[in-house]
Structure formats: C-alpha cells, structure tokens
Amino acid sequence: MKKILSAVLAVAMLCTCVLMFTACGGNNSSAASSDTETKELHMATNAAFEPYEYKEGGEVVGIDADIAGAICKKLGYKLVIDDMDFDAIITAVTSGKADFGMAGMTITDERKQSVDFTDPYTNAVQVIIVNEKDSPVASADDLKGKSIGVQMGTTGDIYVTDIEDAKVERFNKGADAVLALTQGKVDAVVIDNQPAKAFVAQNPGTKILDDPFENEEYAICLKKGSELTEQFNKALKELKDDGTIDTIIKKYISE
C-alpha cells in the first residue's frame, strides 16, 4: 500500500513539475518572443524635432521613440528607427521602405489620401516664433506679406502658404528656419509648439508669440490597409489607459 502511495505521489509530483515547467516556459517573455524578436519594425522619422525625436549620443530619443518602443514591445517586435527628412517619411511608408512613420506628424485630410493614421496620441498647436527685439510680427494677422520660415512639407508650411502675399522660406530642419530668423533673413517662423520651445531655448533673443495658430493632433501613419494599424491602435489604447503615454510625455515635457 505504502509503495503504491509513494508511486502515485511521485507521478503526481512529476506531473506538477512538467506542468509548472510548461506554464513557466509559456509565460517566459524571452521564450515567447524568441521567434518575433528578430522581426523588426522600421519607423521613419525626422530626428530634429525635440522633444518628439532628436539625437542624443547618436541615438534617436524622444516621446515618439519611447511610445514606438512601448508599442513594439507590446506587439513583440524590435524597433528600428530610420532618420530622414520630414517630407520623405510618407513616401518611405507608402513604398514599404518603412513600416510606419512617427514624427510629431499631424493628421491631415491630404495625408489621409496616401496613408492610414492611428488614433491620435497627443495634441499640438502651431505657434509663431519671432525675434524679441523690433519684430514686425506681433500676431498671426501680421504674417500677411511677411517672409516666414517653415520646415518643408509640414503643416506649418501648408498654413503659411495660404497667407496673403507671404514669402515662404522652406528649410529641411526647423532649426535652420530659426537660425534664419536670428540672422534677420525671415520675419517669423511657424512651427509646432514643443519644438518651438526647444528652439527658443537654444536661441536667446527669440520668443514665441502668445497667439496660438492652429490646433492639431499627432498620430502614427501606416501604409493604407496595413493590418498593423489595428494592432497599433489596440496597443496605443492600452498604453493610454495604463498611464504609459502620460508618463512618457511627462518625462520630456515638464508642465
């Protein structure tokens, strides 16, 4: 009887061990993702847009890099960031060179014709940067007939192109537009509010006008019909709900 009992016990213990091992193996993230870890998702961005994406020690960091990292981690992909001019991002996505674009990119109807957008992950506003001293521009109305620096292909570019008699100077980087402002080559720069703060901090003698220009929403763009869009939206929602997005934004924007 004793022998039978211990044999049963031994078998029961063995089963428990096998079960535990299987369960642990199944939950172990490295084991579970070992086949997906090699799968990469390429993010097209323009790393000259602090605090959303910028370079620190050769690495692209910022709100977008962190959010993209969190999404990829959730979905079991390795994130690879490809830096390029802003106006090359949509083409990179539509041609399949990149899996998605994330670059403080505003949802616009025009862009929606070529790419799909996820749900928005944050809001932004276009602002006007001017020189502190003797600026001919004190409000958005004053932009008429002035020379205005913008980053090429951005919503700032689109808005000022509609301004009466404005002379639009297009630059590859927002920083170059602000440099032109400090050199008196343009009267104002129209750009997104958070990068504007970074540029003004780096260029004493410049300031942001109180007059906000245009409200926008940022989202991630993907190839039209991409099945990733739904997965990204699900991951984004979870990251919003559990506070991750807020924490990431607060890490880079202190207010």
- Interface residue list for ligand GLN (CB under 6 A): 46, 49, 86, 103-106, 151, 154-155, 192, 216
Backbone torsions φ then ψ of 133, nearest 5 degrees = -95, 135
Q: Which is nearer to ligand GLN, 51 or 209 (CB)?
A: 51
In whole angstroms, give the CA distance from residue 161 to residue 224. Answer: 27
In whole angstroms, give the CA distance from residue 237 to residue 241. Answer: 6
51: which 2 tokens? 């605090």
Q: Which is nearer to ligand GLN, 66 or 192 (CB)?
A: 192
Cis peptide before 120 (omega within 30 of 0): no
- Minimal distance, residue 104 CB to ligand GLN, in Å: 4
Q: How many CB atoms within 10 Å of residue 98?
A: 26
- Minimal distance, residue 108 CB to ligand GLN, in Å: 7
- Minimal distance, residue 53 CB to ligand GLN, in Å: 8
Q: Which is nearer to ligand GLN, 86 or 232 (CB)?
A: 86
Q: Encode 118-145: b = buried (16+ Cβ within 10 Å), e = exposed.
A: beebbebebbbbbbeeebebeebebbee
Q: Which is nearer to ligand GLN, 39 or 97 (CB)?
A: 97
* Look-up of token digits 């078998």: 11
Secondary element (H or E) of residue 216: strand 214-218
Q: Which is nearer to ligand GLN, 77 or 195 (CB)?
A: 195
- Minimal distance, residue 251 CB to ligand GLN, in Å: 19
- Minimal distance, residue 46 CB to ligand GLN, in Å: 5
